[in-house]
Amino acid sequence: MTTETERPEIERILPRIHARYTPLRDGQLADYIPELARMEPDSFGIAIATAEGHQFSVGDAERPFTIQSISKALTFCMALELAGAAAVRARVGVEPSGDAFNAIEFDPVTRRPYNPMVNAGAIAISGLLHEVLGDAAFETVLDRFSQAAGRRLAMDEAVYRSEAETGHRNRAIAHLLLSAGALTGPVEPALDLYFRQCSILVTATDLARIGATMGHLGEQPWSGRQVFEVSAVRDTLSVMFSCGVYDYSGNWAHDVGVPAKSGVGGGILGVVSRQLGLATFSPRLDARGNSVRGLAVFKSLAAELGLHVFDATNRGSALIPTYFKPPG
């Protein structure tokens, strides 16, 4: 049971961190997607949701933005469940690539994308989902994302059209996937699903609730519904930890130590297993495609709340409400 003396502590942490990084205006919008270049650049929200169904937020945590590459983690999780781990591993690996998210590079040994968190791997996963689900693929993806968020989500039609009209590099990747056997073709249905899933609208609060669902072993804390299979969540969090923030993933694992996935819409989703989901939204990106403010916020939250998976000092324990329970 949460007491009133516990609640204000975490509620004071978030506004303090939000105020600390509000003046930070480094980075640029993702202008290679025309619709994303129209975003309000100084939007900034932070949200936390716990595995026991508590929520905290500050700033623009309810402002909608497109999920973009954060969708890759969720479709990977779905593919593991719907197609099976063997079928997924036949299409995509789990190794960090060290390359940019849109690199046209495959593993030279397997001739498959390095991992599902870069564009090549995510398009391969979208193709696999379309093979399994057919024309119902996008509605199934949207429904599963909505279940995890705890509310009905929608797609931004303008962003979808913008991505479909300008996604020539992703089309090149798809054709290389087809030639390598990581797609069975045709490429357009896989690409269409990929563009659509990236265009789903979410808020920081939605992402935090999705993170709490994953942290709660796939069970949505508010509805009690099992949204993702436990084994699929485990494998997804593993790849998020090692590959989730593009070619910054090694630094992230060292500095933050939380499974996470970023997106060029300005969001970052983090998951602390069996405890909570964290999310930030700020659309100014660094050169790697990660939210500048988001990276800074996650570093501060990890330090102040003791969230790093290998943090044995418990420095943040006095600040964590009792319902943030460690595993075991």
Query: Where is the domain boundary, 198, 232, 248?
Result: 198
Q: Compute CA 235 distance to the chain's CA centroid, rounded to the nearest angstrom.
A: 14
- Go through the chain and tell me how many residues it has: 328
Task: Based on the fold, state whether residues 212 and 291 are members of the same structural domain.
Answer: yes
Domain residues for the domain of 296 are 7-66+202-319
Note whether residue 1 is domain-resident.
no
266 and 292 inside one domain: yes
315 and 286 part of one domain: yes
224 with 264, same domain: the answer is yes
* Inside any domain, residue 324: no
**pLDDT in single tens digits along all 328 residues of the chain:** 344 444 547 788 999 999 999 999 999 999 889 999 999 999 999 999 999 999 999 999 999 999 999 999 999 999 999 999 999 999 999 999 877 777 777 888 888 999 999 999 999 999 999 999 999 999 999 999 999 999 999 999 999 999 999 999 999 999 999 999 999 978 999 999 999 999 999 999 999 999 999 999 999 999 999 999 999 999 999 999 999 998 899 999 999 999 999 999 999 999 999 999 999 999 999 999 999 999 999 999 999 999 999 986 544 434 444 444 433 3
Q: Is 69 annotated as contributing to ligand binding? A: yes
The verdict on whether residue 246 carries a ligand-binding annotation is yes
Question: Of 198, 228, 246, which residue sits at a domain end?
Answer: 198
Q: Is 43 annotated as a binding residue?
A: no
Does residue 114 have a known ligand-binding role? Answer: no
Residues 215 and 254 in one domain: yes
Note whether residue 148 is domain-resident. yes
In a domain, 91, yes or no: yes
Q: Let me know whether 75 and 193 are in one domain.
A: yes
Task: Write down which residue in 181, 198, 215 finishes a domain.
Answer: 198
Q: Is residue 2 part of a domain?
A: no
185 and 238 share a domain?
no
Q: How far is the CA of 129 from the CAs of 218, 220, 234, in angstroms?
A: 19, 22, 19
Same domain, 286 and 300: yes
Q: Are residues 95 and 170 both part of a single domain?
A: yes
Q: Do 208 and 299 have their domain in common?
A: yes
What is the Cα–Cα distance from 178 to 188, expressed in whole angstroms?
Answer: 11
Tokens describing residue 257: 């130590």
The answer to whether the annotation marks 92 as part of a ligand binding site is no
Are 18 and 75 in a shared domain?
A: no
- Do 170 and 285 lie in one domain? The reply is no
For residue 258, being part of any structural domain is answered with yes
Instruction: Evaluate whether residue 328 is within a structural domain.
Output: no
Residues with a known catalytic role? 69, 72, 194, 246, 264
Q: Integer distance in angstroms from the first to the last C-alpha of the chain?
A: 18
170 a known binding residue? yes
Q: CATH code at 94?
A: 3.40.710.10
Cβ atoms 269, 297 nearer than 8 A: no
Model pLDDT, residue 313 = 58
Q: Is 327 inside any structural domain?
A: no
162 is in an annotated binding site: no
Number of domains, the chain: 2
